[in-house]
Copies of this chain bind each other. A is one copy, B any other.
Amino acid sequence: MLKFALLGFLLRQSMTGYDLAAAIRSSINFVWPAQLSQIYRTLGQLENDGLVVSEVVPQQGRPDRRVYSATDAGRQAFDGWLGELVTELDPVRTPFLVRFFFSGTRAPEEMVTQLRVLRDLHLRQRDQLAHELPGYIAEFAAANTTDDRDPLIWDAVRRAGEMHAQTWLDWIDETIARLEDAAGKAQPR
């Protein structure tokens, strides 16, 4: 996966691993975060497979930059990947829900507290996606050769994140209400 994301960026513009990390951070981080170490390792594989090549650019004071560029084979691999058809939903792994599923033995107030904490996190996430990310994307677009449909698409991806964050907020509110309702009925008056 990361493999293809890196190729995708490099096809727009050659850059270093460090730059790639920044590109990811200002774009797809919320759907596919990556550590620097992971990026470098993956670049190594890509180079091994001939999908990218690198060129060392000496620098003073800093480690030399190693600038990566996608090759023709890289473009082909990437295009193949883009053309793949979706046949199954990717499994979604949601640790929180697993925990929640098993927390029937816990005090209801504790569950509500946990939900409130989670709510805060999702709220921040939603606001970040709604307000901060657009700025990063604009910068990123300005710095990159962009197809004219890119802004629309990037915004759609951003929107997906925003909508899901909102759905979490709604779910949490609904769930807290249900828990409180049940607690109210359990020990009435």
Q: Which B residue sits closest to A149, measured CB to CB?
A: B104
Name which of A27, A95, A108, A170 has the most chain B CB atoms within 10 A of its CB. A95
Q: What distance in Å separates the Cβ of A26 from its nearest Cβ neighbour in chain B? A: 12
| CB interface residues, A 159-189, toward B, < 8 Å | 159-160, 163-164, 166-167, 170-171, 174-175, 178-179, 182
The segment from A38-46, A54-62, A150-158 that touches chain B is: A150-158
Given A1-B98, A149-B104, A153-B103, CB of A33 within 8 Å of CB of B91: yes
A81 at the binding interface (Cβ < 8 Å): yes
Q: Which residues of B contact A101 (CB under 8 A)?
A: 8, 27-28, 31, 153-154, 157
Return the chain B residue nearest A88 by Cβ: B121
The smallest beta-carbon distance between A130 and chain B, in angstroms, is: 15
Chain A residue total in the interface (Cβ 8 A): 66
Query: Are A170 and B178 closer than 8 Å at their CB atoms?
Result: no
Residues of A2-45 at the interface with B, using a CB-CB cut-off of 8 Å, are 4-5, 8, 27-28, 30-33
Q: How many copies does the complex hold?
A: 2
CB-nearest residue of chain B to A78: B102
Given the known inter-chain contacts A105-B147, A164-B164, A175-B156, please indicate yes or no for A125 contacting B27, CB distance below 8 A: no
Residue of B nearest to A95 (CB): B90
- Residue ID in chain B nearest A172 by CB atoms: B160
Q: Known pairs A31-B97, A101-B157. 5 more at Cβ < 8 A?
A: A32-B94, A89-B121, A90-B95, A100-B157, A152-B182
